[in-house]
Each structure stands twice: as structure tokens, then as C-alpha cells.
Amino acid sequence: MAFKDKTLECSDCGNEFTFSVEDQEFFQSKGYTNEPKRCPECRQARKARQYGNGGYDYRAPRQMFPAVCADCGKETEVPFEPRQGRPVYCRDCYSKVRLSR
């Protein structure tokens, strides 16, 4: 089956974009039967949005705050800022405390 470059209209911005032979082959190799609905820019933008909000970014290390465990007194780190008067537990004690509830 021979592919030809196709011109499609983006459903987001209405711009025409080329569904190239390579892309068509790629789509077919993936088993996709639908043509792309969006131009590459809008696809990129959508992806960026999906990762930007709500999506958990595994590359960014979570900020950790130093704390002292209220149970065993061991120094630990917690992923939230410890507040005055609120007990903070190390990982071991936290799981104990949680289980005992």
C-alpha cells in the first residue's frame, strides 16, 4: 500500500497540517486507524498541558523538610512543612501510628 502526504485540518486551531508518509506509516505500525485530529503544535500543547497540571512529575524531586520524629526522636524528613504542635513521625513510626488507628 502506497502512502501519500495528506493535508488535514486541525480540530483545535483550524490550521492545515501535513500528515506525512512517515507519520502514516508510523500510525499504521501502531495499529491506529484514525487520522490525527490535531496539528503537531496543538498536540504538543495538549501534552504540555496534561503534564503541567494534575499530572505527577516524576522528574521533580519532592521538597523534603527536616523533622524530628515525635515517637522515637530520630531525625527524619517529611514531604510537608512540619507545624508547631503537630507530631511528625519518621517513616517507621508513621506506619506504626497509621496501623494502630
Nearest 5°: the CA angle 34, 28, 33 is 20
C-alpha cell at 42: 496543538
The one among 3, 68, 71, 82 contacting Zn ion by CB under 5 A: 71
* Interface mask toward Zn ion for 38-67; x: CB under 5 A: -x--x-------------------------
10 sits near Zn ion (criterion: CB under 5 A): yes
Beta carbon nearer to Zn ion, 3 or 71 = 71
Rounded distance between C-alpha atoms, residue 87 and residue 70, angstroms: 5
Nearest 5°: the CA angle 37, 38, 39 is 135
List contacts with Zn ion (CB under 5 A): 10, 12-13, 39, 42, 69, 71-72, 74, 90, 93
